[in-house]
Structure 1
Amino acid sequence: MTEIEIQMDSFMLYCDSKHLSKKTLSSYEQTLKLFAMYLKDEFKITDPTKVKTAHIRHYIKYLRERGKYTVVVKEKSKQINHPDHRHDFNKQLSDTTIANYLRNIKVFFNFLHSEREIKINPVENIENIKPNRKKKALLSPEELKKVLDTFDLTIFHSYRTWLQTRLILDTGIRAGECCDLRPEVIDFKNKSILIENPKNNQQRYVYFGFKMSNDLKRWMQYRDRYSDSPYLFPTIRGTKLDVRNFERSLKQAGNKVGVNIHPHLLRNNFAKYYLLGDNNGYGGGDFATLSRILGHSSVDVTMKAYLDFTDQEVGRKYQKHSPLSNLDL
């Protein structure tokens, strides 16, 4: 085992002790293994103390030039996943992907520097990459209805996806949090749900409306006839639903009616509809409350994530708060 592999193992143990999500841990591990391969192949470097700022800048340049899925940690995975069959194989990596790689590498070297494993931190003078955020579409009520109407509520898995879709749109919870839910965290009296295992490891409450209350009660009665699973949205076998299967089912439903939809877009739409208010002129909510509901670490995080309104959405928001329209002048 090389010195950089030893330090990577140490870093992953540190991350695991902080109870980071599996997705985050996987992202760190994948990024660092690819970076270690590059250092070894291009510069014969296997010791993190030998890594200089220039090596990392060269890696960023390399990432901009290489195509998607053209490099893998394990060659055997190509025979299983067949990346060359993907529609975006060999396409340019996005700025967002490269920014994530750089962020992970920075966290690793900052850790080594704080642990005094390296004297000079090679990432100290490397600026973060700020990708241009794509505006996420605000799906219209008609588009949402078209997607929901594709589900057959007489079939267990179809009914389950229908309700999960509505629940995320009504509460803003993450897809993973939705799949983790158990019936005992639902409080019908206060119309709230306790999210016990969120991304930042802090419990929070989210809230649902009257329609969702009735939807949930009907689903739980239906579910109990077919399953004694501890999960609210189990597979037909009673096991925990894999979030990727839910994402796939939702995407397929959208494809049937020509609507590009995925769980995080539902969460984004929840936030935007919450802020915009309804079509009858009732004002939307505030960022501070939204931040708590979404489980963000701060209001700033929420504002950065949901200030990407289109001009049309800003105009709609303005019409509700036009000074002249709302003043008796």
Structure 2
Amino acid sequence: MKLSELEFYLEDFLAYCQNKNLSRKTISSYEQSLKLFIVYLKKEHDIDKVKEVRTGHIRQYINYVQDRGKYTVVSRESTKNINFPENRTDFKKQVSSITINNYIRNIKVLFNWLRQEGELQKNPVDNISQIKTVRRQKKGISKEEFNNLIEYFDYTKFHGYRNKVVVLLLQVTGMRIGECLELEVDAIDFKNKMILVTKTKGNKERYVYFSNVMQRELKQYLKFKDRYIDTQLLFPTTKGTNLTIQSFEKQLKDVGKKAGIDVHPHQIRNNFARHYLLNGGDFYTLSHSWS
């Protein structure tokens, strides 16, 4: 099927992002949110050309998503008969201000790129601002809660043991969960007790360091992994493929429920930062290691 002008420019923009070596997560975020916006423009305003998009269309789209709620806008109608969004417990629930701001940011990035490419004389996002948001800080995890959480992983199963080691490594190194799940075995330097992290948020490689206890845990885990799965991925699925962030977060949440803890990977990363500072680490070094 022939692409509309907006669809063509979106595909061109995504190709540009790939050439810039942006992360898969970033490109996926652009693609998903921008496709929804393009569907809205066509369906609600019969717009499929770049120069037809006005500032008001973007403002109205923001209000449209806020009013209708989650999963009421889909990029292809046919997916409704496969995914059945109306069966979700959060169907039509309010979309968070953080998500709305991500949509706004992605739309602004696309149209700023189109202006840079010379496809626009007047940019419809010039007067679009992000909405006010209040970030609710997740409660930290105490030492007792963390130890209790670790005990609830099923070490007899591969995914249980793997997830336990992931959590321990996040706590010890302060890595982002996305960085951790992209690691390969060769990235580990056991002699110097450090790991080279290459798939970072800013595409800047860095080293993270681990303890003697973590060193023993990693060696034991690798022996266990190699008995069942032949892959260079450090934390694969049972089929040897990449473990996604969403899948890990769900599995962690399920274990957290059993332990009576509402837990998210970012809380564990925050634990690393808190322990680092409490043990005499300086904020300058910490902030640069997280960048």
Coarse TM-score class (shorter-chain normalised): over 0.9
Whole-angstrom distance in 2 between the partners of 1:98 and 1:244:
19
Q: RMSD of aligned C-alpha atoms? A: 1.8
Distance 1:33 1:239, change over 3 A: closer
8 Å CA contact retained: 1:204, 1:292:
no
Matching residue of 1:149: 151
- How far residue 229 of structure 1 moved from its aligned partner, in angstroms, is 2.0
Contact 1:234 1:240 in 2 (8 A): yes
* Structure 2 letter corresponding to 1:286: D
User: Structure 2 vs 1, CA of residues 73 and 149 (structure 1 numbering), >3 Å: closer, same or farther?
Assistant: same
Partner of 2:196, secondary structure, is: strand
1:107 aligns with 2:97: no
Matched, 1:71 2:70: no
Superposition pairs of residues 66-145 of structure 1, within 5 angstroms:
66-145=68-147
CA drift of 1:239 comes to 3.5
C-alpha displacement of 1:24: 1.4
Question: Number of paired residues?
Answer: 289
Q: What's the counterpart of residue 286 of structure 2?
A: 290
Segments of 5+ residues of structure 2 without an aligned counterpart are none
- Partner Cα separation in structure 2 for residue 43 and residue 221 of structure 1: 59
Shift of 1:109: 0.6
Aligned partner of residue 153 in structure 2, secondary structure:
coil
Q: Deviations over 1:205-225 (max 9, x none)?
A: 111122212211221233333
SS of 2:136's partner is coil
Q: State the 1:190 CA deviation.
A: 2.1
> Which residue of the partner structure matches residue 262 of structure 1?
264
CA distance in 1, matches of 2:282, 2:89: 40
Does the 8 A contact of 1:254 with 1:260 survive in 2? yes
- The answer to whether the 8 A contact 1:136-1:268 is kept is no
Which deviates the most, 3-12 or 232-241? 232-241
User: How far apart, CA to CA, are the structure 2 residues paired with 1:242 and 1:121?
Assistant: 36
User: 1 CA distance for matches of 2:246 and 2:62?
Assistant: 30
Distance 1:106 1:250, change over 3 A: same
| CA positional deviation for 1:42 | 2.4
AA matched with 1:55: H
In 1, distance between residues paired with 2:273 and 2:63? 36
SS of the residue 1:205 aligns to = strand
Unmatched segments (≥5 aa) in structure 1: 297-329
Structure 1 partner of 2:215: 213
Q: Which residues of 2 match residues 1-329 of structure 1 at below 5 A?
A: 1-275=3-277, 277=278, 282-283=279-280, 285-294=281-290, 296=291
The structure with the largest alpha-carbon Rg is: 1
Mean CA deviation greater in 149-158 or 104-113: 149-158
Q: Which whole-Å CA distance do the structure 1 matches of 2:62 and 2:25 have between them?
A: 23
What letter corresponds to residue 272 of structure 2 in structure 1?
A: F
1:174 Cα deviation (Å)?
2.0
Query: Does the CA-based 8 Å contact 2:186-2:232 persist in structure 1?
Result: no
Query: What is the distance in 1 between the residues matched to 2:272 and 2:213?
Result: 15
- The 1:267–1:80 alpha-carbon spacing in structure 2 relative to 1, beyond 3 Å, is farther
1:33 offset after TM fit, Å? 1.6
Q: Distance in 2 between matches of 1:187 and 1:161?
A: 21
Query: Which piece of structure 1 moves more, 219-228 or 145-154?
Result: 219-228
- Residue 326 of structure 1: aligned partner: none
- TM-score by length of structure 1 reads 0.82
Distance 1:286 1:130, change over 3 A: farther
Residue 207 of structure 2 aligns to a residue whose secondary structure is: strand
Equivalents in 1 of 2:66, 2:288: separation in Å? 37
Provide Cα deviations, 1:26-45, integer angstroms capped at 9, x if missing partner. Answer: 21112212111222222222
SS in 1 for 2:251: helix
The residue identity in structure 2 corresponding to 1:74 is R
Are 2:72 and 2:92, in contact at CA under 8 Å, matched by a contact in 1? Answer: yes
Q: Give the TM-score taking structure 2 as reference length.
A: 0.92
Q: Distance in 1 between matches of 2:94 and 2:245?
A: 27
